[in-house]
Chain A
Amino acid sequence: SSPSSPVALPPFFMRGSIIQLADGELKRVEDLKTEDFIQSAEISSELKIDSSTVERIDCGQSPNAVLIQFSVGELKAQVCVEVLVEYPFFVFGQGWSSCCPDRTTQLFELSCAKLCVGDVCVSLTLRSLR
């Protein structure tokens, strides 16, 4: 069989996981909409929503990993993250998307689109940092 393939993805991406929005409303992870993130961030005293545009997607250092380079916010801060190919990001107006949607669906039963260069993902920053 294949070598151990640890699933390092957090449990809340599993279909059916219950997510609490900032106003207390409960939703399943697969039912979340862009507005849920925007509205939750609006009433959060600590978090601010930001848009992160996918600029590059490259192979990561381990077989199931990818390096994704984002341009974040109006200042276009360059941020690079290494995640497993099945890690889902929430794309504005589109929903969950990952570099390998088939694997995300297989592992977590979470319907995903293919994450592509140019997609604009929901991200968060801390309001209080100056």
Chain B
Amino acid sequence: NVEPRSVPVFPWHSLVPFLAPTQSD
């Protein structure tokens, strides 16, 4: 039996650095 290889799926927000804390709106 060959098990299907799972392909990693990454969330979209992983691609974007958190650059700054939100300042008060």
Q: Which A positions have Cβ atoms within 8 angstroms of B?
A: 10-13, 17-22, 26, 29, 32, 36-37, 40, 44, 47-48, 50, 52, 70, 72-73, 75, 77, 79, 81, 89-90, 122-127, 129-130
Partner of A19, one of B12, B17, B21: B12
Instruction: Please report the C-alpha to C-alpha distance between residue A12 and residue B20 in the assembled complex, in whole angstroms.
Output: 22
Contact with A along B1-25 (1 / 0, CB 8 A): 0000001111111111111111111
Partner of B16, one of A20, A70, A81, A90: A90
Interface of B is mostly: loop
Partner of B18, one of A10, A21, A124: A124
Instruction: Please report the C-alpha to C-alpha distance between residue A48 and residue B12 in the assembled complex, in whole angstroms.
Output: 13
Q: Is the CB of B20 within 8 A of A20?
A: no
- Given known contacts A81-B17, A123-B17, A20 and B12 CB-to-CB distance under 8 angstroms: yes
Pick the most buried of B8, B16, B17, B19: most chain A CB atoms within 10 A of its CB. Answer: B19
The residue in chain B whose Cβ has the minimal distance to the Cβ of A13 is B15
Q: Is the CB of A124 within 8 A of B8?
A: no
Instruction: Please report the C-alpha to C-alpha distance between residue A79 and residue B17 in the assembled complex, in whole angstroms.
Output: 11
Instruction: Please report the C-alpha to C-alpha distance between residue A47 and residue B21 in the assembled complex, in whole angstroms.
Output: 11
The residue in chain B whose Cβ has the minimal distance to the Cβ of A129 is B22
Least distance between A130 CB and chain B CB atoms (Å): 6
Q: Is the CB of B13 within 8 A of A40?
A: yes
